[in-house]
């Protein structure tokens, strides 16, 4: 029995949402009133017109999020109970607002079909009025809550008597109610041999039946299907939008929720072309438009990410079908080194590289039993890895170029690249404590801190597109995009394809700084700072010095440089190289990392009975937990040892200005 069914009073309901009693709920519903807790705005629709969004303010949004979480848990629980019955199959009908589902999973079911039928529900969200929402939770077998609680749920979720588009509780409630419709439609779809999915108000049907073999019969069947469908939809409290009903065959462009499904799931060419044009406009003029309005960097990032997501999904399907389902010998052919297989195998390699865990295996050549890949995979050498990374298509190359522009050329703040993921948290904590000392790096407005510097996020996409591993080793790879010079120790191994190593190197590592400077006649907006841990010979700092020969860092005197000139080990154009300052009372003054600056003046707290250790362990907590704690509780720590580091960051930024 789900949690909601067990409730008897409003206080019980409030407790389920995480409150002591119903006082807060009563305050929101009756003292303030939900109608006063929304802001309304419009966004353009893809096909013209505007979509009205009613977004709740934070007080109400908090309540709606808690409600949505409880409803989702109850829904999942009900499916798990039903799934114990062997005859019951968990439906894969609704793909909107559900975990692990998207417009991609919705479209994939309809790809490579002879016919695709699109049906749209008219005024979808307006169909869910207060009475309907309340009645559902009163009568539905999964919930059947008391009247008082059903009323409260509807009051929390509705705005002016309807479910608002923009509230976090609306998606799950619409799906719950529309599930009843889905089950009824599935029966009709099976009768006429159609596959059926729904994404919110977009309903899609597809079939491989040859409807053209007997046009008269096919036409009548389709007519009967549409009549039955409309009857079910109408009787369920919805309406069809006849203007958006469309039947397309395999000779036409078949679309499902904005994606092309003729052969495989794809993005419209117009969308890709427009995205590239927007990016080029941004590079040239530092601004661009989307739907007649000035666009933002994040909007453009989202468009590129969406295009890549579709490509990787198709790569995954090919990988799964051809590498997992086929025999060992066939796998070896697909992963082979034969130049004739290059084109055929690139998709499988791309998926492998895009998978973070698998990519780590490529970098470190460790057997990963989880994936059970052939030995050919584990024996690939460095030159071959880089060769396969040169097989990016134009979409990936354009996204890669855009991201470099976003991070290092058109950046609106100085960019700091660190060795570890936690470094930024310590620096942010130090700046919060010392904000009055560093107005160039941070300011406090109306009680909120505004950082004037940015930190590069170690995302999977960035690691994939730029072929950059995690940690200090990654600095060498990032530097390749700031330079045209090919390192002398690169490409000593034999290549699996005929192209020269130099050509491949420039395909993988174009000098983007030079490219954008030539294109725009501008310099990067802000500097980039590589911040190294200050460690002796054999560390990433020394490896970088050997690699980046153009920077002319004398490795013979690097010990002296990193001690006295840590704040600017080297500089070239917009790129500054610096290290964590050494501290005499830590590691005998021979090495330091970002934690050492803190540990020199502070005793780490005991958290949940565990003490701090950089390496973590069963009786210790590690860097991730410690850095989060420090950032949250910055006021209780002494950051005096961070002052030389922060001075160095500030001075490098001012030097570039």
Q: Which of the four pLDDT bands, split at 50, 70 and 90, describes residue 379?
A: low
Cβ-proximal residues to 114 (8 Å cutoff; 6+ apart), any chain = 207, 208, 209, 210, 211, 249, 250
pLDDT for the residue 338 = 46
Q: What is the CA radius of gyration of the chain?
A: 29
Task: Read off the pLDDT band of 496 (50, 70, 90).
Answer: very low
Name the helix (H) or strand (E) containing 107.
Answer: helix 103-108
Q: Residue 336 in contact with residue 371, Cβ under 8 Å?
A: no
Question: Given a cut of 80, is residue 328 above it in pLDDT?
Answer: no
Neighbours of 494 (CB within 10 A): 10
Write the CB contacts of 177 (distance below 8 Å, at least 6 apart in sequence). 128, 132, 133, 136
3-state SS, residue 211? coil
pLDDT exceeds 50 at position 340: no
Rounded to whole angstroms, how far apart are CA atoms 390 and 462?
A: 15
Tens-place pLDDT, residues 447-494: 999 999 999 998 888 888 888 888 888 999 999 999 988 776 555 544
Q: What is the pTM of this model?
A: 0.83
Query: Residue 259 burial by CB count (10 A; 0-12/13-18/19+): exposed, middle or buried?
Result: buried
Instruction: Say yes or no to pLDDT of 331 above 60.
Output: no
Q: At residue 382, does pLDDT exceed 80?
A: no
C-alpha 377/C-alpha 355 separation (Å) is 14
DSSP type of residue 243: G
The token pair at 385 is: 């890895």
pLDDT at residue 363, rounded to an integer: 62
pLDDT tens, residue by residue, 403-451: 999 999 999 999 999 998 899 999 999 999 999 999 999 999 999 999 9
pLDDT tens digits for range 589-622 = 899 999 999 999 999 999 999 999 988 888 899 9
Alpha-helical runs (H) found in 355-415: 356-364, 375-378, 382-389, 394-404
Q: What's the CA gap between 185 and 112, in Å, rounded? A: 22
**Beta pairing, strands 246-249 & 115-120:** antiparallel
In tens, the pLDDT along 570-598 reads: 999 999 999 999 998 889 889 999 999 99
CA distance 233 to 120: 11
pLDDT at residue 493, as a whole number: 46
Backbone angle region of 588, left / alpha / beta, with phi > 0 → left and psi within -120 to 50 → alpha: left
Nearest to 494 by CA among 615, 569, 382: 382
Q: Summarize pLDDT for 113-161 with one digit per residue, the tens.
A: 999 999 999 988 889 999 999 999 999 888 888 999 999 999 999 999 9
Please give the share of the chain, as a percent, with pLDDT higher than 70: 83
Q: How far is CA 508 from the centre of its chain?
A: 23
**Averaged pLDDT for residues 555-567:** 89
**Mean pLDDT of all residues belonging to the chain:** 85
- Length of the chain, in residues: 657
Report how far apart the first and last C-alpha atoms of the chain are (Å, whole number).
65
The average pLDDT across 88-108 equals 79
The residues facing 445 across adjacent strands are 448
CA pair distance 400, 397, nearest whole angstrom: 5
Q: Which of 183-197, 252-266, 490-504, 521-535 has the lowest mean pLDDT?
A: 490-504
């Amino acid at each position: 029995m789900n949690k909601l069914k067990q409730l008897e009073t409003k206080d019980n309901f409030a407790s389920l949402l995480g409150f002591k009693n119903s006082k807060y709920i009563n305050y929101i519903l009756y003292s303030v009133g939900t109608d006063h807790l929304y802001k309304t705005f419009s966004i353009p629709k893809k096909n013209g017109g505007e979509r009205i969004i009613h977004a709740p303010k934070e007080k109400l949004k908090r309540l709606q999020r808690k409600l949505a979480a409880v409803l989702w848990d109850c829904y999942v629980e009900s499916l798990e109970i039903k799934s114990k019955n062997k005859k019951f199959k968990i439906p894969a009908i609704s793909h909107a607002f559900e975990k692990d589902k998207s417009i991609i999973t919705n479209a994939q079911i309809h790809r490579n079909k002879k016919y695709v039928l699109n049906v749209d529900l008219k005024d979808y969200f307006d169909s869910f009025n207060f009475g309907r929402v309340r009645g559902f939770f009163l009568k539905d077998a999964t919930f059947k809550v008391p009247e008082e609680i059903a009323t409260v749920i509807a009051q929390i979720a509705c705005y002016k008597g309807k479910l608002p588009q923009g509230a976090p509780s609306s998606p799950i409630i619409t799906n719950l109610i529309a599930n009843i419709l889905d089950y009824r439609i599935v029966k009709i779809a099976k009768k006429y041999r159609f596959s059926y999915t729904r994404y919110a108000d977009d309903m899609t049907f597809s079939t491989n039946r040859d409807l053209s073999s007997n046009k008269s019969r096919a036409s009548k069947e389709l007519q009967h299907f549409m009549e039955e469908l409309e009857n079910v939809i109408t009787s369920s409290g919805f309406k069809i939008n006849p203007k958006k009903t469309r039947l397309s065959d395999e000779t036409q462009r078949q679309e499902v929720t904005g994606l092309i499904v003729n052969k495989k799931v794809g993005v419209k060419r117009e969308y890709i072309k427009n995205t590239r044009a927007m990016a080029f406009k941004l590079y040239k003029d530092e601004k661009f438009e989307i739907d007649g309005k000035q666009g933002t960097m994040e909007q453009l990032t989202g468009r590129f990410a969406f295009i890549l997501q579709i490509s990787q999904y198709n790569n995954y399907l090919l990988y799964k079908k051809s590498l997992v389902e086929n025999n060992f010998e066939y796998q070896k052919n697909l992963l082979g080194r034969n130049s004739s297989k290059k084109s055929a195998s690139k998709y499988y390699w791309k998926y492998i590289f895009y998978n973070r865990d698998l990519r780590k295996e490529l970098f470190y050549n460790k057997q990963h039993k989880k994936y059970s890949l052939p030995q050919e995979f584990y024996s690939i050498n460095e030159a071959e890895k880089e060769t396969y990374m040169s097989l990016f298509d134009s979409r990936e190359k354009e996204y890669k170029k855009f991201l470099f522009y976003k991070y290092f050329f058109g950046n609106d703040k100085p960019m700091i690249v660190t060795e570890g993921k936690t470094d930024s948290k310590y620096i942010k904590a130090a700046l919060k404590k010392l904000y009055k000392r560093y107005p160039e790096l941070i300011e406090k407005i109306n009680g909120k801190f505004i950082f004037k510097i940015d930190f590069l996020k170690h995302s999977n996409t960035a690691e994939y597109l730029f072929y950059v591993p995690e940690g200090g080793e990654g600095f060498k790879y990032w530097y390749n995009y700031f330079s045209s010079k090919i390192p002398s120790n690169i490409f000593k191994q034999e290549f699996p394809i005929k192209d020269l190593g130099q050509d491949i190197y420039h395909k993988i590592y174009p000098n983007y700084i030079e490219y954008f400077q030539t294109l725009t006649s501008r310099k990067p907006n802000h500097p980039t700072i590589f911040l190294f841990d200050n460690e002796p010979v054999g560390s990433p700092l020394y490896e970088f010095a050997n690699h980046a020969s153009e920077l002319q860092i004398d490795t013979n005197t690097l010990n002296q440089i990193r001690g006295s000139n840590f704040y600017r080990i080297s500089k070239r154009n917009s790129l500054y190289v610096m290290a964590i300052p050494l501290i005499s009372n830590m590691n005998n003054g021979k090495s330091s990392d970002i934690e050492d600056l803190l540990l020199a003046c502070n005793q780490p707290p005991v958290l949940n009975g565990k003490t701090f250790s950089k390496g973590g362990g069963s009786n210790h907590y590690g860097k991730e937990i410690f850095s989060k704690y420090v950032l949250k509780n910055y006021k209780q720590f002494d950051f005096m040892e961070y002052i030389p580091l922060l001075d160095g960051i500030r001075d490098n930024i001012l030097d570039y200005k």
